[in-house]
Amino acid sequence: MTLIRVSENVWEIPATGGMRVPGRVYTDETSAGRLASDPCLDQVRNVAHLPGIEGYSLAMPDMHLGYGFPIGGVGAFRVKDGVISPGGVGYDINCGVRLLATDLDAADITGKTERLADRLFSDVPSGVGSHGAIERLTAPALSRLMVRGAAWAVEQGFGEGADLEHTEAGGALPEADPDAVSERAFARGLDQVGTLGSGNHFLEIQVVDQVFDREAATAYGLHEGQLTVMIHCGSRGFGHQVCDDYLEVMAAASVRYGIELPDRQLACAPVDSPEGRRYLGAMACAANYAWANRQMIMHLTGESMQKALGLSPRSLGLRLVYDVAHNIAKIETHVSGERNLELCVHRKGATRAFGPGHPEVPPTYRGVGQPVLTPGDMGTASYVCRGTEKAMRQTFGSTCHGAGRAMSRAQALKRAKGRDISRELAAVGVVVRTQGRKTLMEEMPEAYKDIHEVVDVMDRTGVSPRVARLRPLAVVKG
């Protein structure tokens, strides 16, 4: 496939055939040379065929093969004549990241890291079949959670109202419609809120080991040597079921509305159609479930750390820096050309990066832009970046979401055969606790792209410059 270089780190797929807009790929020169035969580019091109797409079909440097859209893909569709697609959101709706800061330095847990990891592993439910930290919800309670999101968790005693200000969208999308959620999805959501899950989800104790932008780091309350916590999880089986339900609905809707698809995995409906609005309502319920989930896990994490370290809440000083969504479709207003447009922005394995001055950025961060949380593999590093005005102009306020997989889970299992990944991580100073050896093998560091290179691309483009690097000390996985 032809890739035309636009700038140092931006490459373009020209609009040909049924493409309504060009594709744009953010990457470096080395990776661009390997992309010619990558099926991800076909997915970028396919997304560009969908009705109402504005500007470009975008792909971030962490992109890899997904369902319909590439993971690492962004597509913005005009509400008046565009579409909404479950494939542009993914199965784990609002899989996202929450960063917590503490008043501790890494030196304060010297000799206590193993104990801390053990306690977190015990206190925070994780794994495929894990059940929530509260008793099984009733259907009416789950309906309220779907509408209220993180605020519901706060109302149940899990956190403080101030946490909502530092959560994307205040921790709840207003379009949530429990009536659009199936009985099967309801059943799957009753006992999983407050659980970490499995796969690439994690709870990680980290240290800020380098600051690149002191003004932004100070605004975010971060400094070198500081102990932080990162939580990565989503909407669990509830969100998976919502996606599954609506893929079937959208397959029929695509035919009904005469939408020609280059790939049936891109099944969709007009945003303003009954099917489109119902999916948006159900997806918002799952997104709000995920925000409630991370809010509860944050509270459990704080209690667990206090017990493990023998500290009072005041001495620990645990507080929310920010929470961002990775898999979501949101109605937003953006400037495209000279027009203000209402767009349905799909971010799949991509994250929001709103710039300074935007009204949706918390007042305390408005001078420097929204915190962008970019987790890496569990043996290397994660990054805090920041949103910019360039992101608003170039990528609909979007950027990369993490390292991105470099190999499939099957390939990782084959590569890890006969190895002790836990011991390998211990050798580089990372304590790991996990429910299953298989998960650890699937998620080993080399299964992912180089997080430093991924973040560097978006830093050089000015879309999401680096603020700080976080090095893992202990990881809890399902």
Q: What is the residue-wise DSSP string for 287-317?
A: HHHHHHHHHHHHHHHHHHHHHHHT--HHHH-
DSSP 408: -
Q: Which two tokens stand for residue 226?
A: 């500081």
Q: Which two tokens stand for residue 403?
A: 């390292």
Query: What is the Cα–Cα distance from 33 to 12, expressed in whole angstroms?
Result: 13
Task: Please give the positions annotated as active site.
Answer: 401
Question: What 3-state class would DSSP assign to 55?
Answer: coil
Residues 6+ positions from 40 with CB-CB distance below 8 Å: 59, 63, 64, 65, 70, 72
Residue of 337, 457, 466 whose CA lies nearest to 27: 457
Q: Which two tokens stand for residue 172?
A: 């709840």
Q: Within 10 Å of residue 182's Cβ, how many Cβ atoms?
A: 15
Query: What is the Cα–Cα distance from 473 to 422, expressed in whole angstroms?
Result: 13
User: Strands 96-105 and 319-325, how do they pair?
Assistant: antiparallel
Phi, psi dihedrals of residue 390, rounded to the nearest 5°: -60, -40
